[in-house]
Amino acid sequence: MTYEEKAEYLADLLHRKMGVGGRGLEARLRRARRRLPRRIRREAELFAEAARLQANPRLARMTDPERLDAAFRAVESYLDGLDRWQRRKDAALALLSVNAFNLLVLAVLLVAFLRWRGLL
């Protein structure tokens, strides 16, 4: 598998697992910026740069194949471990828990106000 094919595969994984749109790996990495951990983002950017350099034979020699393979494996293993539905469920639960806490605080303040005014 060439670097361009691997970059396309990582771009497809970003789209399938995180729902990130765009053309190519670099565009999808820009859109997924903060949703990726810093280490994984750096590895993916390194791999995208190397895939771009492969178009020029002189520049292609500047890349370290072992380092790029390690970067590819790291990004691939992180993205394979993501579950899109689990992320959505976690986000929904976080939203519900924040709202439940806010309602609880509002109820406590309402009871405190009613006791202060002597209505309870």
What is the mean pLDDT for each group of 10 consecutive residues in the chain (120 residues)? 87 88 88 88 89 83 86 91 86 96 98 92
Q: Based on the fold, state whether residues 74 and 90 are members of the same structural domain.
A: no
How much is the pLDDT for 106? 98
Tell me, yes or no, whether 72 and 110 share the same domain. no
Question: What is the pTM for the complete model shown?
Answer: 0.73
72 and 101, same domain (yes or no): no
26 and 7 in contact (C-beta within 8 Å)?
no
Q: How many residues make up the chain in this entry?
A: 120
Same structural domain, 62 and 32: yes
**30 and 69 share a domain?**
yes
Query: For residue 111, what are the domain limits?
Result: 84-120
Residue 71 shares a structural domain with residue 89: no
111 vs 4: CA distance, rounded Å = 64
Domain count, the chain: 2
What pLDDT is recorded for position 113? 96
Q: Determine the pLDDT at residue 58.
A: 85
| Shared domain check, 75 and 115 | no
